[in-house]
C-alpha cells in the first residue's frame, strides 16, 4: 500500500483531503528525511492501521532503518508526553506542574538522527495529539535552532493532512 492507494480510497466528500495528500511527496520545503520521517510519525499518530501501514510503506524506501526507527520513536514518546503534559497544563490544580514527570524520555536528547528532524516530527505528532505545552516546547527548540517558520508550518501541515486522511477513511467506513 502507498499514498496512491490511500488517495484512491478517499471518498469524494473528502476531495480536498485527497488533493492535499497528493502534495506531500512533492513538497520541497522539507528535506527528504524530514518529509518521510513526518509521514511515518504522523501516520502512527493517527492510530489508523491502514494509514500507518500505507505511509510507512511509502516512506521506508527513502529512510535508513535508523531514521525509520527514530520517526517511530518520535510518535511513541510523544504519545506518552502529550498525555502527561496536556494533563498538567489543562488541570486546574497547578501543583501538578511543579512535580517531576518521572517519565523516561532519553530518546529526545539522543534520537539517533538530526535533532531538528526529531523535533519537527515531535511537533507534528504533538499537534495531532493536541498538546499545546508540547507544541510550544518543540516550536521553541526549533526556532532556537534557526528553523524557519515556513519549515515549522510545513511539518504541522503534514500532520493536518495525514490526520484528515484517517478521519476521511473512517467516515467513509461508517457511512
Residue 134 annotated to the active site? yes
Residue 131 annotated to the active site? yes
From the list 55, 74, 123, 134, the catalytic residue is 134
**CA-closest candidate to residue 27, choices 52, 78, 62, 79:** 62
From the list 59, 68, 128, 131, the catalytic residue is 131
Query: Taking a C-beta distance cutoff of 8 angstroms, is the pair 38, 128 a contact?
Result: no
**CA-closest candidate to residue 151, choices 20, 38, 18, 21:** 38
The DSSP 8-state label assigned to residue 63 in this structure reads S
Q: How far is CA 148 from CA 8, 76, 80, 173, in A?
A: 34, 26, 27, 39
Which residue matches cell numbers 519549515? 151
Report how far residue 125's alpha carbon sits from residue 121's, in angstroms, rounded to the nearest whole number. Answer: 6
Active site residues: 131, 134
Amino acid at each position: 500500500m502507498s499514498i496512491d492507494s490511500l488517495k484512491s480510497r478517499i471518498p469524494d466528500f473528502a476531495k480536498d483531503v485527497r488533493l492535499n495528500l497528493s502534495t506531500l511527496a512533492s513538497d520541497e520545503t522539507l528535506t527528504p528525511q524530514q518529509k518521510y520521517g513526518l509521514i511515518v510519525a504522523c501516520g502512527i499518530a493517527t492510530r489508523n492501521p491502514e494509514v500507518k501501514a500505507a505511509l510507512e510503506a511509502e516512506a521506508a524506501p527513502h529512510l535508513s532503518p535508523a531514521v525509520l526507527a527514530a520517526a517511530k520513536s518520535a510518535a511513541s514518546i510523544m504519545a506518552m508526553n502529550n498525555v502527561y503534559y496536556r494533563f498538567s497544563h489543562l488541570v486546574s490544580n497547578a501543583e501538578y506542574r511543579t512535580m517531576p514527570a518521572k517519565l523516561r524520555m532519553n530518546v529526545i536528547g539522543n534520537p539517533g538522527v538530526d535533532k531538528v528532524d526529531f523535533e519537527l516530527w515531535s511537533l507534528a505528532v504533538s499537534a495531532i495529539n493536541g498538546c499545546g505545552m508540547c507544541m510550544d516546547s518543540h516550536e521553541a527548540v526549533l526556532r532556537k535552532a534557526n528553523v524557519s517558520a515556513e519549515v515549522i508550518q510545513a511539518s504541522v501541515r503534514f500532520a493536518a493532512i495525514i490526520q484528515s486522511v484517517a478521519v476521511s477513511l473512517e467516515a467513509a467506513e461508517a457511512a
